[in-house]
Chains A and B, each alone.
Chain A
Amino acid sequence: MNGLREDGHLTDLALEYALDGAPLDATRAHLDTCGVCRARLEAARDIELPAMPELAAPTAPVLQTPEPANRPWMWAVWLAAAAVAALVAVPLLRPADDGLRVKGAGLSLQVYRDEGETSARLKDGDPIAPGDRLGFRVRNRDAGYLMVLGIDSADAPYLCYPQHGGGSAEEVGESPRPRPLPEAIRMDDTPGTERIVAVLCEGPFDFETMADAVSEDDLPAGCTMDGLTLEKR
């Protein structure tokens, strides 16, 4: 890798190598002579990294952080616990004493509100507030393609999960126990009803197609849905 832009300065990626103490060969001479890039290096070093809480032990309950954690890290802790459990093949989630709804379709969506050190599971009709951070757990008896969508009070759909898939549903294996999804959403300021649904289909689909289908309550064949409605005040 060369690491130099057309104008001769370091690319942002090359800057990272330099910050790591291993500048790319082609950038060494430039760094010796360029005041601009040396100033960039100094500025980059000043960035403040938020604290990271200790990771949960493999046997810790998924939905409670073992240590007081900065609020935004709640979800990372959950996911880390789930990942560790998966690696050691130890069932992490407690058996079905958690009040899950079991629907004939074999898909169940749980929505949780991050409340700092803990989280609260939301039920249909529960109030939420602007700025609330919501996370999800999904149980699906069948493998397929999964997406979680929201529809706001103006009937505008938005994607809740997967946010990393470029608008495509995520292929998932069967999950007989609820598993936490690794992405959360934060509520905006607009008051009104928010409908949140999980959709599982036998085949791939995208956000635009499914948003229309959910809005019109016209789910394609081979798809199942579960969801709830929240009141944003």
Chain B
Amino acid sequence: MTTAAPTLDLSALYKEHGRLVLRRIRRFYRAEQAPDVLHEVFARAIEKADTYRGEASPIAWLYGLTTRHCLARLRDERRRRELLEEVGEVPWTCPITEPTTEARVFLAELWRRVDPELAQIGVYYYLDGMSQADIGELLGVTGRTVSNRLQQLSDLARDAAGGSP
């Protein structure tokens, strides 16, 4: 008997997009930790298969899934970490050259205190440098929603920084 539940060909997904997931993980974790996280993400992919809407390419879905998993994992780790912490050479990323004060506050500790969706938006904006429109498209929300959430994040960052601009 079969069901209509969505299925993912894990082997094919891994073969075609495992490197994408690994690269994204390396944005948050050192090389020696990445394989463990990689397997967790693919385990999570099976679990969350029903959230894959069958787009032509699973790139955005996997990218979001990996980002959420890494943030949740980092949040729950016993050792406090900054998202800007050095994770070794990641030559395919292009760092934001001049992080603003609010970006620094967010990446240092604020990301851990805000709700998971807001943390995700902050990472896409401050760490990845994505536009508000692109973030909205990735998350399936409007650009206005992203803008409002970023304003909220900015206010929190300003408060955390002691009101300095």
Contact = CB atoms under 8 A, between A and B. Distances in A.
A20 B23 CA distance: 13
A89 B1 contact: yes
Contacts, number: 150
A126 interface: no
A20 B1 contact: no
A80 interface: yes
A176 interface: no
Given A1-B138, A13-B128, A55-B11, A44 B36 contact: no
A43 B92 contact: yes
Nearest to A166: B116
Interface string B11-34: 100110011101110110000000
A19 interface: yes
A167 B69 CA distance: 12
B31 to A, nearest CB: 9
Contact of A12 (B11, B36, B116, B128): B128
B134 A2 contact: yes
Contacts of A207: 76
B38 A50 contact: yes
Interface string B35-61: 110111011101101000000010110
B39 A73 contact: yes
B110 interface: no
Interface in A79-128: 79-80, 83, 86-89
B61 to A, nearest CB: 11
A37 to B, nearest CB: 7
Contact of A49 (B22, B46, B60, B93): B22
Name the prevailing secondary structure of the B interface residues: helix
Interface of A: 1-7, 9-13, 15-17, 19-20, 22, 36-37, 39-41, 43-44, 47, 49-50, 52, 54-55, 70, 72-73, 75-76, 79-80, 83, 86-89, 156, 158-159, 163-167, 182-184, 186, 188, 207
23 contacts: A5-B94, A5-B129, A9-B94, A12-B93, A13-B60, A13-B134, A16-B63, A17-B57, A17-B59, A19-B20, A49-B14, A50-B35, A72-B39, A76-B39, A87-B3, A88-B1, A89-B3, A163-B72, A164-B44, A166-B72, A182-B46, A182-B47, A183-B40
8 closest Cβ pairs, A-B complex? A5-B129, A44-B92, A43-B91, A166-B116, A83-B46, A182-B43, A79-B43, A159-B76
Interface of B: 1-3, 5, 7, 10-11, 14-15, 18-20, 22-24, 26-27, 35-36, 38-40, 42-44, 46-47, 49, 57, 59-60, 63, 68-69, 72-73, 75-76, 78, 91-94, 96-97, 115-116, 128-131, 133-134, 137-138
